[in-house]
Amino acid sequence: MSIDFENELNDAQREAVTTTEGPVLVIAGAGSGKTRTIVYRLANLVQKGVDPAQILLLTFTRKAAQEMLARAETILGRPLHGTSGGTFHSFAYATLRRNAADIGFAGGFTLMDRADSENVCKEVRDELKLGKGDRSYPKKATLLDMITKSRNKELTIEAVMEREAYHLSPYLEDIQRIADGYAGFKRKHALVDYDDLLFLLDDLLAKNEPLRNQLQARYRYIMVDEYQDTNLVQARIVQQLAGPRGNVMAVGDDAQSIYAFRGANVANILKFPKIFEGTKLIRLEKNYRSVQPILDLTNEILKGATTKFDKHLYSDLKSDHLPQVIHPLSDQTQARLVVDQILELGRKHMLHDVAVLFRASYQSFPLEVALTRIGIDYQKFGGIRFHEAAHVKDVLAFIRLVINPHDLMAWQRAMEHIKGVGAKTVAKIYQAMHSGDEKYMAKMVKKHEQLRELLAELDRLRAGEKRPSAVLEAVLAFYQPILIEKYPDDYPKRQAGLEQLSQIAAGYKDMDQFIGDLSLDGDPDDEQRKENAVVLSTVHSAKGLEWAAVIIIDLVEDRFPSRKAMQRAEDLEEERRLMYVACTRAKEELRLFVPGSVYNRASGLSDPTLPSPFVMELPDTVFERLNESYGGGLETRRRPAYSLPDPVPPVYESRDEADARDVPEPARPKVDPSKLGFCKHKIFGKGKITAQLDANKYRVNFPGFGLKVIIGDYLEFL
């Protein structure tokens, strides 16, 4: 049967499908029919007489490859025997098995799974006698994470640690020794892990010219899906398989490269035309998912990217409603307003077609509590549900014991961190406490200093103030050293979740109500989407999905983009791409939440925020602005553009600056952006000036503090 190119494909898709010779880069914007293009090109090649065995399709999941091959068979009306379709890892494994002797495994090798690799790390650690008696020592999973990130990013372990896990730096030398021992153990026992598959294949192709020539001759047509997600070694493998002829089609979207933490390198897709001379660049810009007003907004987000392939998404789907940018007074009122929006959207859409997206898992905690309180079912993707987080359960156990000393389950959790006190001992202590066995209790308190501290703290809390925020503040202070000792690998991330718990507590006056709302929980989520349950998801977990309505929360500096990302230009670029991915998940309605202040646990007050730079850049023509009134409702507000956040006044970084806000500012000439340099601030130290906002206001990136807007009078220009 012949393929119907006219009715089934648009012009750009048709060009990609029918261009079969030479290097081709297809920049497929979100929702632009990327998979359809690959499938039709597969079918077209075979219909033109290409032997299916000469086609290699590389994807990132086996499911994706199988689906594409099956759809191509449906179009052709016959089986597609012989085509090699699968993941980079499966292709590497098959090739290495056939050439095991050439990679030093004459007797063959065994592929380890994740659990095997973790156990080898533990065995090497024990063999080196490292971490003995150190309860804070990184767990085997963390050791493997550091090793595999170092390999995939092709950076030293020290560089990875400096960027992503600085709290583990005391163990740098140990982790390097374990990494060396891990590599030696694998060689000695003929073991290969998933990372090895790629690096061994890369090395084999580079050194074995006959094999390289053989594979290049066999695979005359190479197609790679999601090219923006490739790491450096995967890009080299593609280059070596394609050879000088470069008959390769890469499909992807530089604007959706959001997996740098896994080793993905956006430079691979950006440099593709330079690596493969004569590359034909085809842009898929017609979007089949979203209404045009949503695309107008996402196009504006992409405009701010510094390195990119220009694209302009458009759609035949029209709408009279602009996306909304909603300004709650604070992150504390944000959860209530989001619930209101969900209820409103639920009148038009099934709840499972409404999603709330966020940058980090902990940001949904207040919303989870609010949804549970009024009985709205939800399903969470990315991270774990608030109620299931181990550190949150720990803290709630202490609070439950303040309210109810007879809570045996809470006692078991509260004593978990005490060495030598297991479940049986907890039961004996519990019995002794409630039967008045002072002799046994005296013996146990003498034996376990941490038990004495726990009991003393609980007595103090029961005698003190019962306001939830005050009790929680005391519990968190007591729990901090336990948190670091119990979760040494990732306690900084868990700390952020506990900050959200403080914010939730600030809204309660009654301890029983507070603990009751936090303890309510629905059934564990199924892996499949639940019917009529609103979706909560991190943006990373939302990639590839779509919903009728999308709400994005916490669009303020230090949250989206994250504080860490604002310290490095390439990380900030990835945050912009993350914002683009989030917005393009929406089909009909998009609502962006920009809280005017965020709760500060240290002061017990709310600190003013700056809107995310990705929101600040938006022209007012692409959104409708709504502000929360002091009465709790939403008011429509139109204004020329975002110059400074509103309703919250500009951020002044010291008391002196706050006093100076009404002082006329001396006119100062605009600074040439190309000459923006460094400056010094008496509180934040040395920083890099990234923009001049008006005559005497500057945006400055201070390492450790992120971007701040500062009046020029309070800066020393270096």
Which residues participate in the annotated binding site?
28-35
Domain that holds residue 17: 11-96+197-285
| pLDDT tens digits for range 633-650 | 788 865 545 543 333 333
Residues 368 and 391 in one domain: no
Percent of all residues in the chain with a pLDDT value above 90, rounded to a whole number: 40
* pLDDT category of residue 556 using cuts at 50, 70 and 90: very high
Inside any domain, residue 586? yes
Inside any domain, residue 330? yes
* pLDDT category of residue 19 using cuts at 50, 70 and 90: very high
Which pLDDT value is given to residue 705?
A: 60
Which pLDDT value is given to residue 665?
A: 38
What span, in angstroms and rounded, lies between the C-alpha atoms of 18 and 20?
6
Domain-terminating residue out of 438, 468, 487: 487
Give the range among 91-105, 273-287, 327-341, 695-709 with minimum mean pLDDT: 695-709
Which pLDDT value is given to residue 667?
A: 38
Which pLDDT value is given to residue 133?
A: 80
What span, in angstroms and rounded, lies between the C-alpha atoms of 481 and 484?
5
Which pLDDT value is given to residue 13?
A: 94
Give the range among 170-184, 192-206, 304-318, 461-475 with minimum mean pLDDT: 461-475
Inside any domain, residue 230? yes
Which pLDDT value is given to residue 326?
A: 95
Which residues participate in the annotated binding site for ATP?
28-35
Residue 255 tokens read as 């604007």
Residues 370 and 474 in one domain: no
Residues 391 and 481 in one domain: yes
Is 268's pLDDT higher than 50? Answer: yes
Is 519's pLDDT higher than 80? Answer: no
Is 658's pLDDT higher than 90? Answer: no
Mean pLDDT of the 4-10 span: 80
Is 242's pLDDT higher than 90? Answer: yes
Residues 184 and 247 in one domain: no
Which pLDDT value is given to residue 682?
A: 67
**Closest listed residue to residue 378, CA positions, set 516, 526, 532:** 532
* Beta-carbon-side half-sphere exposure of residue 141 (alpha carbons within 13 Å): 5
**Closest listed residue to residue 695, CA positions, set 662, 663, 716, 667:** 667
Q: What is the CATH number of the domain that holds 600?
A: 3.40.50.300
Inside any domain, residue 347? yes
Domain-terminating residue out of 135, 158, 189: 189
Q: Which residues of 258-336 form beta strands (DSSP E)?
A: 280-284, 324-327
Mean pLDDT of the 621-641 span: 78
The residue behind tokens 């507000």 is 637
Inside any domain, residue 582? yes
Residues 171 and 223 in one domain: no
Which pLDDT value is given to residue 683?
A: 62
Alpha helices (H) along 48-139 = 62-76, 88-98, 114-127
| pLDDT tens digits for range 527-539 | 455 778 999 999 9
**Closest listed residue to residue 563, CA positions, set 581, 575, 579:** 575
DSSP state of 321: -
Mean pLDDT of the 453-462 span: 88
Burial of 277 (0-12, 13-18, 19+ CB in 10 A): exposed
Burial 346-360 (b: 16+ CB within 10 A, else e): beebebbbbbbbbbb
Mean pLDDT of the 483-505 span: 81
- Number of folded domains in the chain? 5
Residues 80 and 153 in one domain: no
Which is more confident, 488 or 21?
Answer: 21
Is 659's pLDDT higher than 60? Answer: no
Phi, psi of 289 (to 5 degrees): -105, -50
Inside any domain, residue 177? yes
Chain center to CA of 369: 22
Residues 33 and 118 in one domain: no
| pLDDT tens digits for range 198-218 | 999 999 999 999 999 999 999
Mean pLDDT of the 409-417 span: 85
Residues 453 and 347 in one domain: no
Is 685's pLDDT higher than 80? Answer: no
Mean pLDDT of the 168-185 span: 92
Residues 395 and 473 in one domain: yes
Is 518's pLDDT higher than 90? Answer: no
Residues 533 and 618 in one domain: yes
Which pLDDT value is given to residue 341?
A: 95
Residues 85 and 203 in one domain: yes
Domain-terminating residue out of 132, 157, 189: 189
Mean pLDDT of the 62-83 span: 86
> What is the SS3 assignment for 25?
strand
Mean pLDDT of the 160-181 span: 90
Burial 68-81 (b: 16+ CB within 10 A, else e): bbebbbebbeeebe
One-letter amino acid for residue 683 of the chain: I
Rounded to the nearest 10 degrees, the angle between the axes of helix 209-218 and helix 194-207 is 100
Does pTM top 0.85 for this prediction? no
* pLDDT category of residue 662 using cuts at 50, 70 and 90: very low
Which pLDDT value is given to residue 529?
A: 59
> What is the SS3 assignment for 75?
helix
Residues 571 and 632 in one domain: yes
DSSP state of 439: H
Give the range among 314-323, 380-389, 690-699 with minimum mean pLDDT: 380-389
Which pLDDT value is given to residue 422?
A: 82
Inside any domain, residue 663? no
Burial 329-345 (b: 16+ CB within 10 A, else e): bbbbbbbbbbbebbeeb
Inside any domain, residue 642? no
Chain center to CA of 706: 19
Q: Which residues contact 187 (CB under 8 A, 6 or more apart)?
A: 104
